[in-house]
Amino acid sequence: MRLLRGISALALAFGLSTAALAADKATDAAKPAEAAKAAPAALFQPEEVASEGSVTVRGQRIDYKAMAGTLVVHAKGWDDAAKPKADDEAPAEASMFYTAYFKKGAPAADRPILFVFNGGPGSSTVWLHMGAFGPRRVVTADGSHTAPAPYKVVDNGESPLDVADLVFIDAPGAGFSRIAGKDKEKAFYGIDQDVYAFADFIKQFLSKYQRWNSPRYLFGESYGTPRAVALAARLQGTDAVDLNGIMLLSTTLAFDFWADAPQWNPGNDLPYIITLPTYAATAWYHNRVPGGRPAELEPFLAEAERFATGEYAAALIEGNDLPADRKQAIAEKLARYTGLTPAYILRSNLRVNLGQFNRNLMDETGQTVGRLDTRFAGPSLDVLSKEADYDPQSTAISSAYVSAFNDYARGKLGYGAGKAFKLFANVGDWDLKHTPPGAGYAVDGAANLLPDLAFTLKTNPTLRVMVLGGYYDTATPYFEGRFQMRHLPVPENLRGNISYKYYPSGHMVYAHEDSLKALHDDVAAFVKAR
């Protein structure tokens, strides 16, 4: 009405007749119907399929309602009042798939809700869903290749459904999630773009299922850990949505620590320092410690950590000025913690990246150890290669997870007919620029999410954080998370909000059954402590 009154006044000012104005009004009245007819259909529509089930956890039968569906989220800058545009100009949007499990008979106001996601970036959340927390899980071989189908899927007695409702979320473009619209990849494939989408999803979910007053937790794995930290900062700082806790599995919050290719960033020796304890764990596991394997793993790791942050770090800092005799001495000590020969370590200038280590630890047997879980080993694809050409752990279990989830989703959940399940989204060149809280601009250089976590802890001092990891993970070494938290810029009284749990497993700690049981107990205790 305000727009029509404005048009009327403008017409009269230009001397149009009353009859002409009336004709114009009649024409304008017809336009909305024509516009609605010509407007393109929404790119996506929310979906929802309900089912029911039960699972027994720690002797307690839990009856639940499962909801499998999608919510439609938009990119930053989207205006819900904007006029419809042509199909090829429609703003980007994402249909984000989720599976939610609600315990029957539990009052929503008192019942915690746990939002769960994997990382990648661009990974679906099949891993945590079918391996760790869902009411059904696929059984895979521990430390070796899982035999082909039929795969064994069992009730998951370690699901945290005994303490919280669960929401498994697939990132835009992954799993059953989809993206569409103009510049859709640019709109969703980046650190901050991804966080904006997840924040939109969570707020919509809380509204749809009337869970705004439930205790709220995030659980992120791998790249899901920087996502969780940045997401918490956004929810807290922009949307005024506090969280009760964040759980970070296989933590990596400062990207300068990545040990995949540190040789292209000379002068930054942190990746070699934080990865060394995992090399030591792997050498211990495969009985490659010169002079014999120590009786216990954890004291050996504590020794490796002290060496890594002390004598080894000091030697690396000296760079080319390190005297030859000291370099030789360091190489010999590194041999104890890596299982590699001093000669090889010297040729590598005391700096062995994870691809070199995984490929060469068991070189004499022609085997490569896993990247995500070094307990796994498989034949080297090229026995003359410098670095690992594949990950034996991924090839050992991926088929089991994909097959089991497709069967479960399409059968038990009743979702997925006519849709392809995508294990990973094709994220291409992921936008690594990030704007920390308070910065006002994207900071140049490798992203670092520690300022986000510090901001969230300072503005929500009741927030608790649990850092979890596996000793045999070279992708996100367990010591990386611990080392980074030592440098978190928060006052002493907030450091007690952070706890640590580590397991004799790899990146996906739940791939080891005893670690899965311990993970359940640690998550349950964390949630109950609110």
Q: What is the pLDDT averaged over residues 440-461?
A: 95
Q: Please name the fold of domain 47-256+397-528.
A: Rossmann fold (3.40.50)
Buried b (16+ CB within 10 A) or exposed e, 289-316: beeeeeeebeebbeebbebbbeebeebb
Tens digits of residue pLDDT in 188-204: 999 999 999 999 999 99
User: What does the alpha-carbon distance between residue 241 and residue 202 come to, in Å, rounded to a whole number?
Assistant: 10
Q: What is the pLDDT averaged over residues 20-40?
A: 41
- Closest listed residue to residue 479, CA positions, set 313, 318, 336: 313
Does 16 score more than 90 pLDDT?
no
Q: How far is CA 143 from CA 44, 504, 526, in A?
A: 42, 11, 28
- Closest listed residue to residue 167, CA positions, set 216, 100, 212: 100
Mean predicted lDDT score pLDDT of the chain: 91
Partner residues linked to 71 by β-bridges: 96
Q: What is the pLDDT averaged over residues 359-374?
A: 96
pLDDT at 458: 98
pLDDT at 79: 74
Where in the chain do CATH 3.40.50.1820 domains reside?
47-256+397-528
Does 495 score more than 80 pLDDT?
yes
pLDDT at 530: 77
Confidence of residue 30 (pLDDT cuts 50, 70, 90): very low
Percent of the chain's residues with pLDDT above 90: 87
Buried b (16+ CB within 10 A) or exposed e, 149-178: eebebeebbbbbbbbbbbbbbbbbbbbbbb
Top-confidence residue, 105 or 530: 105
User: What does the alpha-carbon distance between residue 249 and residue 235 come to, in Å, rounded to a whole number?
Assistant: 20
Bridge pairing between strands 136-139 and 245-249 = unpaired
Does 10 score more than 60 pLDDT?
no
User: What does the alpha-carbon distance between residue 507 and residue 270 come to, in Å, rounded to a whole number?
Assistant: 20
One-letter amino acid of 363 = D
Task: Determine which of 2-6, 271-275, 429-433 has the lowest per-residue pLDDT on average.
Answer: 2-6
User: What does the alpha-carbon distance between residue 395 and residue 370 come to, in Å, rounded to a whole number?
Assistant: 10
Task: Determine which of 38-42, 299-303, 374-378, 444-448 has the lowest per-residue pLDDT on average.
Answer: 38-42
Tens digits of residue pLDDT in 327-354: 999 999 999 999 999 999 999 999 999 9
Does 1 score more than 70 pLDDT?
no
Task: Determine which of 31-40, 95-104, 309-318 has the lowest per-residue pLDDT on average.
Answer: 31-40
pLDDT at 76: 86
Tens digits of residue pLDDT in 46-86: 999 999 999 999 999 999 999 999 999 999 887 776 665 55
